[in-house]
Amino acid sequence: MKTNSPKAQPDKLNIALWGLGRHALKNILPAIRNCREVALVGVYSRNPTVRNSTVEEYGCAAFLSEEAMLCDPRVGAVYLATPIGLHFEQGMRVLQNKRHLLCEKSLTDDYQKSDQLIAVARRYQLVLCETFMYRFHPRFAALSNIVKSRSFGKIVSVSSSFYIPTLENPGFRLSSDLGGGAFLDVACYPISLIRAIGDPVSVLSARRSIAQGSKVDTTGNAVLALRDGGHSFSEWGYGAAYKNDVTVLGENQSVFVEHIFSKDGSRCSTLILRDGNGLEHRVEVESADGFVHMLAFVAQATRSPEMRENLSKEAADQARLMDEIRKQMQRE
């Protein structure tokens, strides 16, 4: 294996990647390479084969332990791409070592744990970003602008779905010990979207189910009351044909977006806007990589207390609503 000792780049946010699963290899590493505002210092994984091949491809350092990564003075931030059930302990070590934290969704598997991470990030004036990359794509910005425009009118309803098919290698998703299950893994997306554009005020109903033989929840849905009298319906699950979309109905217009949560930033970047009579107008959006935009935002946030606090508040609001929905599920 080639030994690499990249220098920290003072004009960039220097990142170490913790975890080298398929998502990290396919999406995160290319985004770090393509983002001008960040630089990859090194990677840490317990899998030496994947770690060594990544080092060869990206010319970065190979950290052989968590301690080596977190004590390296070149590392300014850690991107945590490990199973949800490990996020709290690992994320706390990152923050306590005074490194900024980018953490894959869901932030943790428990509201109190998320609250503790956010409190530590605020105490040390560190960025904590729960990495909902779709929020940084121009597609989401276009949707948000339409919905918040005066011509759209008040929101009457928001309907969002996210289903993924049965995976050949599901990894942590089917492990209760590692924070698996459709609620934490999939539902967090439509819930975050509704929170971003719909301003929910209460949980009206929430249900989840467990497929026969499964140790984790596999499907679910929730109905939320929105401010100004509207409502939202979201549904999610494992083991169905891929579905990933949102429809927002307003007083005067409606808008539909397919693949709103897609990791492939170039996939279906068209919004379908309809007027009050149902006449259709297509709004084209530029192709982009939401991960790259997100990384650039985080790099800027390290220098902006306001942006840093906005990210912490986003994570706190998400954790709170997820907890309210989970409690409603337990009652029903």
| Residues 206, 153 within the same domain | yes
Q: Between 290-301 and 305-331, two packed helices, what is the crossing angle to 10 degrees?
A: 120
Residue 8 lies in a domain: no
Residue 293 lies in a domain: no
* DSSP tag of 12: S
Query: Residue 110 is encoded by which pair of tokens?
Result: 């428990």
Number of domains composing the chain: 2
Q: How confident is the model at residue 168 (pLDDT cuts 50, 70, 90)?
A: confident
Measured in residues, the chain has a length of 332
| Residues 143, 260 within the same domain | yes
Residue 42 lies in a domain: yes
**Residues 259-272: pLDDT tens digits?**
999 887 666 679 99
| Residues 256, 149 within the same domain | yes
CATH number of the domain within which 265 lies: 3.30.360.10
**Residues 68-94: pLDDT tens digits?**
999 999 999 999 999 999 999 999 999
How far apart are the C-alpha atoms of 176 and 178, rounded to whole Å? 5
Query: Residue 296 is encoded by which pair of tokens?
Result: 């650039």
Distances in Å between the Cα of 77 and the Cα atoms of 65, 69, 99, 122 are 16, 10, 5, 15
| Residues 109, 176 within the same domain | no
Residue 316 lies in a domain: no
| Residues 258, 149 within the same domain | yes
Query: Of 78, 96, 131, which marks where a domain is finished?
Result: 131
Task: Provide the pLDDT for residue 10.
Answer: 74
Query: Of 271, 288, 305, which marks where a domain is finished?
Result: 288
Under the phi-then-psi rule, with left for phi > 0, alpha for psi from -120 to 50, and beta for the rest, what region is 5?
beta
Residue 329 lies in a domain: no
Residue 324 lies in a domain: no
Residue owning tokens 């005066």: 150
Q: Which domain holds residue 34?
A: 13-131
pTM score of the predicted model: 0.94
Alpha carbon 158 to its chain centroid, in Å, reads 20
Which secondary structure element, helix H or strand E, spans residue 301, and what is its range?
helix 290-301
Residue 302 lies in a domain: no
Q: Considering only 14-23, 96-105, 119-128, 170-179, which range has the smallest mean pLDDT? A: 170-179
| Residues 163, 255 within the same domain | yes
Mean pLDDT taken over the chain: 94
CB 221 within 8 A of CB 161: no
| Residues 224, 266 within the same domain | yes
Residue 310 lies in a domain: no
| Residues 230, 245 within the same domain | yes
Which amino acid, 161?
S
How far apart are the C-alpha atoms of 115 and 107, rounded to whole Å? 10
For 152-171, b/e burial (b = at least 16 CB within 10 A) is: beebeebbbbbbbeeeeeee
CATH number of the domain within which 36 lies: 3.40.50.720
